[in-house]
Amino acid sequence: MDLHSIKGKLPNEIIESISSRGIKEFTPPQESAIEKGLLTGENIVVASPTASGKTLVAEIACANAVLSKNKKAVYIAPMRALVLEKFNEFKEAYPYIRSTISIGDLDANDQWLQGYEVLFVSTEKFDSLLRHGINWLDRIGCVVFDEIHMLDDASRGPTLEVLITKLANTCDAQIIALSATIGNAVELAKWLNAKLVVSEYRPVKLKKGIEHNGKAYFLDERYAGEPEEEELGGTSPIPEIRVLEDTLERKKQVLFFYSTKRNAEAGATKLAEHVEKRLTAGEKEQLSAIGESVLNVLDRPTDQCEKLSKLVKRGVAFHHAGLMNGQRALIENAFKNNLIKALCSTTTLGYGVNLPAHTVLIRDVTRYDNGSNEMMSVNEVLQLFGRAGRPKYDTEGRALLIAPYKERVAELYKNYILASPEDIESKLGIIPVLRTHVLSFIAENFLNDKKAIHKFLMKSFYGFQYGNEKHIKNLIDEITKDLTEYEFIEEVEKETYKATKIGKRVSELYIDPLSARWMLNVLEQTNDIIGNLYMVCNTLEMKPYVRATEEAEGMFAAYRFIFKDKKIYNEFERMDYGAYDPVRAFSTALMLKDWIEELREQDIVKKYRTTPGEVFSKLSNADWMIYSATELAKLAHKPLHDLIDLRVRIRYGIKEELLDLVRLQQIGRVRARTLYINGIRTVADIRNNKDKVSRIFGKEISSKILSQVE
């Protein structure tokens, strides 16, 4: 379908924007979406491979809602990085449409958002906005759900499902749902009352196969699914190195996926010498500068920072949740610019930003989870395979698995290359998952009685898939009983409820009711800093906890003995529906204690066998949970001054004596300690020692500091 064939059916601004990017014809899935009512407001589900043009379908729907209908559009994606990427793409394509991004504070109704026409948000952020009672729902004309297959994810799927059900039943908006892997796309489209677009179209041909003993066995459709054998370039007997050699000979890039962070780091180290010798002088110079930036993301580089920096300078990198955000951004940009030739990542990268390569190799299709080895699903493998082949640079992409022995080739071929994606299944129908959502229904005055909640849940994907009315009724009975016992809701008439003041606040804070109940029960039993830290760490939001150290085991036993009359250390709430270990929560509290005692990041990483990225993720979560505890303490009329000070100390990683100094911008934990050592211990001391401050920090930094105290 030619672009100009839809002239008159869309505002000229949209057609001009698409044309300006060199797009003259629509891809098959785009054409099918248009034919099935994209331009006339039909709900659309698009199930097609990565890079097939799904984003343009969503873009047209969003821009059309604004320009044709004078409505708002909301683009919802599960990962923050993906939200940011889509926002930047849309902003560049339509600079005159007022678009913005909101992925941060979960305790705000963000009234400023009503002034924007297109909003890009994470799933949790938009759910939080609904809990805070936004007043512009009726102005939404289009909602896009990217990565709709995340409905199948146990941690994120239920919130996404509730959000879709809410929006589908409260606002008259066109729904666009996108995914590369949906086994039961017909069922999903039926639930959403949507027209279905299914396509195998891919702008870059994808060859899927198995590597074994220096050969690749690719799917050859000409021979009824029998594999086509191809000798790989290079000489190494090690599969990763052999695939790397072959890819580099083609002057292409390669993505390796590993099951653990440790394996990803080891893989990058193993590949470095083979990449480095193929780099040009210009590439080495640019990589050297990037490597230095990677090294200095933190004030004091950790061992991981040093390892990553050295690898980047050699043209390879590892990528996982343990990196700092700044490091991830540097690595992703270097890979996109063809400077980093090989990137070794955990599987999470397959669900994040668009980072394609010519070749993808999945090293492990098994992973250790909950005490046993589990096989990756077909959906997961296909998501990672989708990273192979760059539309602007490649005519074909390659995606490979590794068979360690000959018999494994046929097995992997059958289980992954020829297999269809699994069906998406709702994860909503269990009590711990539903509890927080039922509280939000009542707190928002969205649904206030059991009958209405039951009717709503029957409209969810869970209700649509299973239709088990009796089970849903039993769930609602048990949850409302628990929430009443927690004093978060109260029955005002038979089976009709309203939220208490505290229950409404718990919902607004976006924390699990069980976590809130725990903190309210022990707020007055936290005798010291460790007690306060343990209180916030022993919550669902702080999971996964760090490993239990010997120090934590000994101290936890001692605290239980010393405070044997207090339930904070002796009566454990069951904080989830899986394994629960209070010692690991206590160990996490001790890690935060080390942070506010100004232990260096590198020493914390070593002591708790963690990573810089995971440390700072825990600090971010702890900041939120301490804030939540403070808000609950206000309502419960409990002491909160220690919590307020603790939050500042967590934010900056400082001892109590530096609290006054960090009030000023430009002063963090390192500069505050430097001032303190030099006898400048308060803001007043800064005012009285301007020359000394200038000598310590130099003219540029000191002028920014001094301008705040004059």
Give me the torsion for CA of 433, 435, 440, 442, rounded to 10°.
150
The answer to whether residue 424 is domain-embedded is no
> Residue 472 is encoded by which pair of tokens?
């849903």
Q: Which of 6, 380, 3, 57 is nearest to 194 (CA)?
A: 57
CATH code where residue 596 lies: 1.10.3380.20
Residues 349 and 439 in one domain: no
- Do 454 and 583 sit in the same domain of this protein? no
**pLDDT score recorded for residue 167:** 94
- The answer to whether residues 162 and 180 belong to one domain is yes
Residue 57, pLDDT above cutoff 60 = yes
Asked whether the whole model's pTM tops 0.75, one would answer: yes
Would residue 425 count as lying in a domain? no
Q: For residues 683-704, b (16+ Cβ closer than 10 Å) or e, as one string?
A: bebbeebeebbeebbeeeebee
Does some domain include residue 522? yes
Q: Which residues contact 358 (CB under 8 A, 6 or more apart)?
A: 247, 250, 252, 253, 254, 388, 389, 390, 393, 394, 397, 398
On whether residue 609 sits in a domain, the answer given is yes
Q: Are residues 518 and 455 in the same domain?
A: no
Same domain for 609 and 696:
no
Residue carrying structure tokens 């580099």: 248
Average pLDDT over residues 682-704: 92
Both tokens of 275, joined, read: 């990449």
**Are residue 446 and residue 333 in the same domain, yes or no?**
no
DSSP tag of 222: G
Task: Report pLDDT digits (tens) over 188-207.
Answer: 999 999 999 999 999 899 99
Percent of the chain with pLDDT over 90: 75
Q: Find the CATH number of the domain harbouring 13.
A: 3.40.50.300
**Residue 709 DSSP class:** T
Q: Let me know if residue 287 belongs to a domain.
A: yes
- Residue 189 inside a domain? The answer is yes
Residue 649: partners with Cβ closer than 8 Å, 6 or more residues away: 596, 655, 656, 659
Q: Are 672 and 595 contained in the same domain?
A: no
Domain assignment present for residue 90? The answer is: yes
d(CA 338, CA 179): 27
Angstrom distance (rounded) from CA 159 to CA 129: 13
Say yes or no to pLDDT of 351 above 90: no
Note whether 164 and 270 are same-domain residues. no
Instruction: Give a yes or no: residue 639 inside a domain.
Output: yes
* Boundaries of domain holding 578: 514-653
| Amino acid 343: pLDDT | 96
Residue with tokens 């539903």: 434
Single-letter code of the amino acid located at 676: Y
Q: Phi and psi at residue 456, in whole multiples of 5°?
A: -65, -45
Q: Are residues 221 and 193 in the same domain?
A: no
Q: Are 210 and 409 in contact (CB under 8 A)?
A: yes
Q: What is the DSSP-derived secondary structure letter of residue 314?
A: T
486 and 599 part of one domain: no
- 234 and 369 part of one domain: yes
Provide the domain count of the chain. 5
Residue where a domain stops, chosen among 508, 537, 553: 508
CATH number of the domain residue 435 falls in: 1.10.10.10
Q: Encode pLDDT of 628-660 as tens digits.
A: 999 999 999 998 899 999 999 999 999 999 999
CATH code at position 667: 1.10.150.20
Q: Give the DSSP letter of residue 231.
A: E
Based on the fold, state whether residues 367 and 219 are members of the same structural domain.
yes
pLDDT at 385: 92
The percentage of residues in the chain with a pLDDT greater than 70, rounded to a whole number, is: 96
On the question of pLDDT at 223 being above 50, the answer is no
Exposure string (b/e) for 168-188, b if CB count within 10 Å is 16 or more?
beebebbbbbbbbbbbbbebb
Domain final residue pick, 614, 634, 653: 653
Tell which of 153, 170, 198 closes a domain: 198
Chain segment 322-342, per-residue pLDDT in tens: 898 899 999 999 999 999 999
- Residue 416 near residue 422 (C-beta atoms within 8 A): no
